[in-house]
Amino acid sequence: MGLIVQKFGGSSVANTEKLEMVGGHIRKEVENGNQVVVVVSAQGKTTDRLIAEESEITKNPVKREHDVLVSTGEQITISKLAILLNKMGQKAVSLTGWQVPIVTNSEHTNSRIRYIDNHKIHEYLSAGNVVIVAGFQGIDENGDITTLGRGGSDTTAVALAANLKADRCDIFTDVDGVYSSDPRMVENVMKLDTISYDEMLELSSMGAKVLHNRCVEIGKKYGVPIYVKSTFEKDSIGTLVADKEPFEDLVISGVTKDDYISRITVVGLENKIGRTYQLFKLLAENLINVDVIVQSFGEHITKDIAFTVKMNDLGKTLEILEENKESLKIEQVLHCENLSKVSIIGLGIANKPGVASDMFEALYENNINMHMISTSEIKISVLVNSNEADMAVRAIHGKFFGK
């Protein structure tokens, strides 16, 4: 007898009909002789609706109370699903975050899980129940309701799987796995059978909205095999996210694109210890998220630093730099708008020579200019003009996966 954690997102539980499909997936695992713990999100647009109602009162709610409000969404789903399963003849109980309990720190709207007490879950499982846990929510040590922030239900599912030492964690969603690129952009995308945690981390932080980073990190740390599957296909095999040997198959796992990026170049920053720190600390204090940073300098008195921020942070960033030009001892600030970051991801990158040059060749053949390059062990990113980005993705995908 195994123990499986299944997670169903908002679109998978949006209405009664869809809940019945979910019921089918659960029953199948029970019939396979497994114990099943289910994690669900709020139904469809429920959370959006609650937040819209809240913003009628204020755009700036007390965070403690915001968590009390939005956590009702998942509570509605767990009870409905438990009612459905019992009607189907399958014993089931629901548990809210505080009932499990899933204990978090007190950072409302963006809490981290501290520990999970699984006694109650095991008790209910032993009594023959499917246990349905509300995703996204927890309780802090003060007894207050907390929520986990973006990707919260995925995080709940994988954390529970780790804590319960589950055989696997199935993340059901509206796609049937992880693809080599965005099918809306690239023809002949390839569904990946497996992908490593590290590759998935790079993919999920870069716009492939399949799994949230936090859950992949937990999966990696505790070695939880995560399957990404489709709720709506009957026998979806999906993609397995797990530890993987780097050489085995593909050089790269995927090509991704991230839009609305601007590049800022700080020219002539005083080349003195602490100046760079001072610069980025200032941006961090103003809650500006800096992505890629590239620095090049030799033995000069000044250095140049280029970095990227989201387009909607550009104005504020330029303002801050202008205001602090003197204290930071900057000569000049340049910027470039409407860029996209195109990246390839793969464990093979570090070990296969020529991957970067293959990527650059694909761009060269299509006459696409690169505004910045940055590389890591398993990723190469380039900045290109946004109007050439889709072409860039297609060209690179064709180069590595065949047309």
Binding residues for its own copies, rule: CB under 8 A, are: 16, 19, 50, 53-54, 56-58, 60-62, 64-66, 68-69, 71-72, 75-76, 78-80, 82-84, 86-87, 93-94, 96, 98-99, 120, 143-145
User: Among residues 125 and 226, whose Cβ is nearest to its own copies?
Assistant: 125
User: In the bound complex, what is the minimum distance in angstroms from residue 224's beta carbon to its own copies?
Assistant: 27
Q: How far is the CB of 154 from its own copies (least distance, A)?
A: 22
Q: Which of 4, 70, 81 is nearest to 40 (CA)?
A: 81
Output 12 or 194, the one with its CB closest to its own copies. 12
The tokens describing 350, both together, are 């570090």
Q: Which is nearer to its own copies, 120 or 352 (CB)?
A: 120
Pairing mode of beta strands 137-139, 145-147: antiparallel
**CB closer to its own copies out of 82 and 228:** 82
Shortest distance, position 388 Cβ to its own copies, whole Å: 46
Coil, helix or strand for 249? coil
| Beta carbon nearer to its own copies, 17 or 245 | 17
In whole angstroms, the minimum distance from the beta carbon of 121 to its own copies comes to: 13
Nearest to its own copies of 84, 211 (CB atom): 84
- Retrieve residue 54's tokens: 């809240």
User: 95 pairs with which residues across the strands?
Assistant: 133
What is 12-67 written as a DSSP string? GGSSHHHHHHHHHHHHHHHHTT-EEEEEE---TTHHHHHHHHHHHH-SS--HHHHH
Question: Whose Cβ is closer to its own copies: residue 97's or residue 254's?
Answer: 97
Residue written as token pair 């990227």: 308
Dihedral, CA of residue 27, residue 31, residue 33 and residue 35, to nearest 10 = 10
Closest CA to 148 of 204, 94, 97, 100: 97
Closest separation between CB of residue 86 and its own copies, Å? 5
Q: How far is the CB of 43 from its own copies (least distance, A)?
A: 9
With contact defined as beta carbons under 8 Å apart, do 78 and 116 qualify?
Answer: no
Question: For residues 138 and 97, what is the distance between their CA atoms, to the nearest angstrom?
Answer: 4
Q: How far is CA 122 from CA 100, 126, 138, 160, 168, in A?
A: 10, 6, 18, 12, 17
Nearest distance in Å: CB 10, its own copies: 15
- Closer CB to its own copies, 44 or 254, in the complex: 44
The two counts, helices (H) then strands (E), for the chain are 13, 18
Least separation, in Å, of the C-beta of 45 and its own copies?
14
Q: What is the smallest separation between the CB atom of 353 and its own copies, expressed in angstroms?
A: 57
CB closer to its own copies, 86 vs 385: 86
| Rounded distance between C-alpha atoms, residue 331 and residue 240, angstroms | 50
Do residues 29 and 4 touch, judged by C-beta distance below 8 A?
yes
